[in-house]
Homo-oligomer: A and B are copies of this chain.
Amino acid sequence: MPLFKKVLYPTDFSELSNIAKNYVMKLKEANTQEVIILHVIHPLEFSLPQFDDPFALDVATIYANIPEIEKEVLKRHEEILNIVAEEFKNQGFSVKKVMTIGDPKEEIVRIADEEKVNVIVIGYHGKGLLERILEMGSTAKTVIKKAKCPVLVIKKEV
C-alpha cells in the first residue's frame, strides 16, 4: 500500500490552503503521483429560493438556476481551480479537479473515501480564538476526526 501516491488536497483558495499546496508540491519526492484537488462551495453562497435542500444539488443544477451575476462568481471559482490544477500539472502530477456543493468538512471526508486517497493534506492554524471563528480551522478539525485515511496537517508558519 503506497503512503502518498494519491493525495486529496482540499482548497478554499485561502492563504492557509496555499501553504498546504506548497507542501503537496514537495510530496513529489515521496512518490506522489496523483492529486485530487477539491473545492467545495457552500450552497448558501447562492440564492436558490426554489429549492428546499440546496445541499442536494450539484454544480450544474446550481449553475442553471442562479442569476447571471452569481454565474460569474461560480465561473470565477472554476477559473481559480483551473489555475491551481495547472500549477500541479506543471510539476508533473496527474490531476483530477473536483468541485462540489455542500458542507466542506463533510465533502472532504466523502470524496477522500470515494476516491480512495492515501492521505488528505490540509492546512491548520492552531492560533486559539481565530481558529474557532474561521471556517478552515474547524473544517480541518472535523476532517481529522472523521476521515478514515491518514491526515497530514500542515501548520501555518508563525
**Given A4-B30, A31-B30, A124-B144, also A152-B155 (CB < 8 A):** no
Number of copies: 2
Within 8 A of B (CB), among A119-140: 119, 124, 126, 131
11 contacts between A and B (CB under 8 A): A3-B26, A3-B27, A29-B30, A124-B144, A126-B144, A126-B146, A147-B155, A149-B155, A150-B153, A150-B154, A153-B153
A110 at the interface (CB under 8 A from B): no
Q: Which residues of A contact B (CB under 8 A)?
A: 1-4, 23, 26-27, 29-31, 119, 124, 126, 131, 144-155, 158
The secondary structure that dominates the A interface is mixed
